[in-house]
Every structure is written in structure tokens, then in C-alpha cells.
Amino acid sequence: MERIIGGKYKLGRKIGGGSFGEIFLATHVDSFEIVAVKIENSKTKHPQLLYEAKLYRVLEGGSGIPRIRWF
């Protein structure tokens, strides 16, 4: 079964994970660009993904800092 996230990204294999979510390879359904997608369980007691995205936006452009495509 294909999993499409946000109507934009087709999920591939899991490439990592930890206490704050899981990371998957994903492909944009229109451009076929390959990206990494981090998913956090919506039932988590202490969500962190929103804070992480805000921090990456502040640090954007720095060496070794990933670029947020969509949140």
C-alpha cells in the first residue's frame, strides 16, 4: 500500500528514527525529487516536530543544516 504524505510525498523505506519520530526516504509525486521526511506520532504527549522545524528555519543556510521544504 502506497503511503502519500500531505498529498505531496510518496513514502519509501525507513532510514532512521529515535525518541522524537521516524525518518523516511520520500519522493515528491510531481517532481520526483528525493527527500527525507520526518514523521512524529500525532498522539505523542510532548510533540517536538513543530519546535524542530522552527529551529531549522532560524538556522537555515548554515553549514550542515537541512532545509525545510514543507511543514
| Amino acid 44: pLDDT | 86
Q: What DSSP element (H or E) covers 16?
A: strand 9-18
pLDDT over 90 at 11, yes or no: yes
Q: Look at residue 21 and tell me if it is in a domain.
A: yes
Report how far Cα 63 is from the mean position of its chain's Cα atoms: 19
| Amino acid 35: pLDDT | 95
CATH code: domain of residue 22? 3.30.200.20
Q: Look at residue 71 and tell me if it is in a domain.
A: no
Q: Look at residue 36 and tell me if it is in a domain.
A: yes
Q: For 23-68, what is each residue's pLDDT tens digit?
A: 999 999 999 999 999 999 888 888 998 899 899 999 999 999 988 8
Q: Look at residue 28 and tell me if it is in a domain.
A: yes
Report the domain count for the chain: 1
**Count of CA atoms in the C-beta half-sphere (13 A) of 12:** 13
Domain of residue 12, residue span: 4-59
Nearest to 37 by CA among 55, 64, 58, 17: 17
Confidence of residue 71 (pLDDT cuts 50, 70, 90): low
Q: Look at residue 49 and tell me if it is in a domain.
A: yes
Cβ atoms 48, 66 nearer than 8 A: no
pTM higher than 0.95 for the full model?
no
Question: What is the SS3 assignment for 11?
Answer: strand
Q: Is 43 annotated as a binding residue?
A: no
d(CA 71, CA 50): 8
